Amino acid sequence: MKFIIQAGGIFGALAVALGAFGAHALKGMLEASGRMETFETAVKYQFYHALAMVLVGLLLQRAGEDAVKLLAWSGHAFIFGVIIFSGSLYAICFTGITKFGATAPIGGLLLIAGWILLIMAAGKLA
């Protein structure tokens, strides 16, 4: 629980910092390479899922035994999904190597799995 909330906080703080950095310091480079939209997508998905991680961590405090495993899996799916999905988009933006995009769908599937696991856990909450 604590780890997932902390990960959410770290990812949230990084999303704000990266978003500000991209909007100001990197704006020219991102626009010149045509990657501004890609960068914004990475930041948005990272931030949305940072909030989801905090939610999952808070739900873990009140969850019964049946829901705990599903919530833990959900939180970890969000963590690895953000790292792979947003990370691959950031890598494309900073290196120009579009082959990093091949891993984005894996991250996307992990994010979807995190939401499905959260739905399943919600069915077991009191």
Number of domains in the chain: 1
The predicted pLDDT at position 6 comes to 97
Residue-wise pLDDT tens digits, 5-61:
999 999 999 999 999 998 889 999 999 999 999 999 999 999 999 999 999 999 999
Reference 85, options 56, 59, 55, 108; nearest CA is 108
Q: What is the pTM of this model?
A: 0.93
Instruction: Give the tokens for residue 2.
Output: 């604590």
Q: Which domain does 24 fall in, by range?
A: 1-123
Residue-wise pLDDT tens digits, 51-104:
999 999 999 998 998 899 999 999 999 999 999 999 999 999 999 999 999 999
Question: Which pairs count as long-range contacts for 85-90, CB under 8 Å and 24+ apart, including other chains?
Answer: 85/42, 85/45, 85/110, 85/111, 86/42, 86/43, 86/45, 86/46, 87/42, 89/38, 89/39, 89/41, 89/42, 90/18, 90/39, 90/42
Cα–Cα distance measured from residue 121 to residue 66, given in angstroms and rounded to the nearest whole number: 8
